[in-house]
Chain A
Amino acid sequence: MNKKKTVRISLLVLAAVLVLLEAVAIIVAWPGPPAGTAPGTVQNDKKAAAKLKAETAALDKKIGALAPKAVFIVIDSARNTLTLETGKEVLFQAVVSCGSGSILEEPGGKRKWIFDTPRGEFQVKSKVVDPTWVKPDWAFIEEGKEIPIKREERFEAGVLGDYALGFGDGYFIHGTLYSRLLGRSVTHGCVRVGDKELKAIYQAASIGTKIYIY
């Protein structure tokens, strides 16, 4: 009987300690005020507040000035959409294909490629009509072919559509033979666009046009 009572009391004490510990933990974990906003840092007089607001407005203006003034391109690689816009209005939206995210390893494991479309801010660096694809090494490895020594053997015409806009490191916005795959993430990192939209992008964009990819 006594032993049962001791066990019961021990369990109760343990439970009470746990509850107390949890209560202390919750109090300690309660969100604190943001750093640098202690009561002393808050400006109370009207002049200081007005000055602060003016400073914020000036900062906002500086931030606003960083956005492109002309037409720019936004690519949502998750939803495979491309938007041509001016900041004030959307000129048009197109369904595209972005990088598949797949990995290719060279037999022997010397080199490895990850086929992602790069993210961040880029700009149109080149504009080409009737582009010819200069097949990189991975294209031959993927097809199980020998990598050619002669550069001419890498040329393949008619696969990139009527136009291509390069945005660095071998990445292009270009056309496609596989329009049924538009909307799917199937490319090796380039952005494939349908023929009609590609022409409009080519005409609207110039060298230096900003491209934002996320």
Chain B
Amino acid sequence: MPFGRMMRGCGFRVLAVVGVLSSLVPAWGADQRASFENRLAKEELLLAKTPSLYFIVYLKSKMIALRSRGMTLHKWKVQSIHVWGDAPPLGALTLEKKSTLFPPKRAKIKPAAKEEEAATFELEALELKDMPSRFTLFLSGGIRVFVRPKAGAFFPRLGNLGHLIVWNLWLPLKNLSFELKKKPFAAIDIKLEQKEDGQAIYWALPDGVKGLVFPL
């Protein structure tokens, strides 16, 4: 794409962004909110008709809910949400994969060779505490959700510093490259109050689970 044309496109973008921000940040018009609520209800009904669990990320309300048949099984409060790139489509998305630096490993059971061994046999459990609290969810439609806890100690703070650099410098460039390739891209940064909430989200969302990301 020629640079001049790109910049002209950006000019319109800036105008659009200002317009959107003025409506997004403080409050939408009542009719726009009603329109979102209607769309959310339509999309959720499709998911709730199936026996599978599904999730909803509420961007404005700063909440993630795990639901089934329209009931909230669990919800997690989010401290802050930031977004880059295209707005996620208002339709069902699939969790394609979860990515983390140290993924939890399942223990392999060694069959007992003798009766005495069988009697003293103890299972090694994969538990909530073994789940990572900092990970990325790759959703369909080129959406990446970065989940991380509020940093308290030194190493988590260092991790968050790295994340800030990636988030503010690298991801906009990545978005630009996707834009030039005409591929969809959106990044959502979710900071949680508790480390355990991140671990519980990692546990609760298996690969393939469907969900919605809504601006509400």
Q: List chain A positions with a Cβ less than 8 A from chain B.
A: 21-22, 24-37, 41-44, 49, 52-53, 55-56, 59-60, 62-64, 66-68, 74, 76-79, 87, 100-105, 107, 114-115, 119-121, 141-145, 184-186, 212, 214
A63–B70 touching, CB < 8 Å: yes
- Complexed CA–CA distance, A76 and B200 (Å): 10
| Contact A25-B16, Cβ < 8 Å, known A52-B38, A66-B49, A66-B69 | no
B30–A49 touching, CB < 8 Å: yes
Chain A residues whose CB sits within 8 angstroms of the CB of B158 once the complex forms:
none
Chain B residues whose CB sits within 8 angstroms of the CB of A107 once the complex forms:
111
Q: Does B45 belong to the interface (CB within 8 Å)? A: yes
Q: Does B103 belong to the interface (CB within 8 Å)? A: no
A31–B20 touching, CB < 8 Å: yes
Chain A residues whose CB sits within 8 angstroms of the CB of B42 once the complex forms:
59
Partner-contacting stretch, out of B92-100, B143-151, B166-174: B166-174
A27–B13 touching, CB < 8 Å: yes
Q: What is the chain B residue whose CB lies nearest that of A46?
A: B31
A28–B10 touching, CB < 8 Å: yes
Q: Which residue of A21, A32, A43, A56 contacts B41 across the interface (Cβ within 8 Å)?
A: A56
Q: What is the chain B residue whose CB lies nearest that of A184?
A: B125
Chain B residues whose CB sits within 8 angstroms of the CB of A212 once the complex forms:
53, 68-69, 71, 73
What are 5 A-B interface contacts by the 8 Å CB criterion? A22-B172, A25-B175, A56-B34, A101-B106, A103-B107
Q: What is the chain B residue whose CB lies nearest that of A72?
A: B71
Q: Which A-B residue pairs are the 8 nearest by beta carbons?
A: A101-B126, A59-B41, A25-B172, A63-B70, A29-B175, A29-B172, A121-B51, A144-B112
- Complexed CA–CA distance, A214 and B70 (Å): 15
A214–B74 touching, CB < 8 Å: yes
Q: Does B153 belong to the interface (CB within 8 Å)? A: no
Chain B residues whose CB sits within 8 angstroms of the CB of A100 once the complex forms:
107, 123-126
Q: Which residue of B17, B39, B111, B173 contacts A25 across the interface (Cβ within 8 Å)?
A: B173
Q: Which residue of A29, A41, A142 contacts B85 across the interface (Cβ within 8 Å)?
A: A29
Chain B residues whose CB sits within 8 angstroms of the CB of A27 once the complex forms:
10, 13-14, 17
| Contact A121-B125, Cβ < 8 Å, known A24-B176, A34-B36, A78-B203 | no
Which parts of B1-48 form the interface with A (CB within 8 Å)? 6-7, 10, 13-14, 16-17, 19-20, 24, 29-32, 34-39, 41-42, 44-45, 48
| Contact A36-B108, Cβ < 8 Å, known A25-B176, A28-B172 | no
- Complexed CA–CA distance, A87 and B70 (Å): 11
B106–A28 touching, CB < 8 Å: no
A104–B176 touching, CB < 8 Å: no
Given A101-B126, A144-B117, 8 additional A-B pairs, CB 8 A: A28-B175, A32-B20, A36-B90, A43-B31, A100-B123, A143-B115, A144-B112, A185-B127
- Complexed CA–CA distance, A44 and B30 (Å): 9
Chain A residues whose CB sits within 8 angstroms of the CB of B89 once the complex forms:
35
Q: What is the chain B residue whose CB lies nearest that of A43?
A: B31
B128–A78 touching, CB < 8 Å: yes
Chain A residues whose CB sits within 8 angstroms of the CB of B74 once the complex forms:
76, 214
B37–A24 touching, CB < 8 Å: no
Q: Which residue of B34, B51, B114, B127 contacts A144 across the interface (Cβ within 8 Å)?
A: B114
Shortest distance from the beta carbon of A182 to any chain B beta carbon, whole Å? 13
Q: What is the chain A residue whose CB lies nearest that of B83?
A: A31
B52–A120 touching, CB < 8 Å: yes
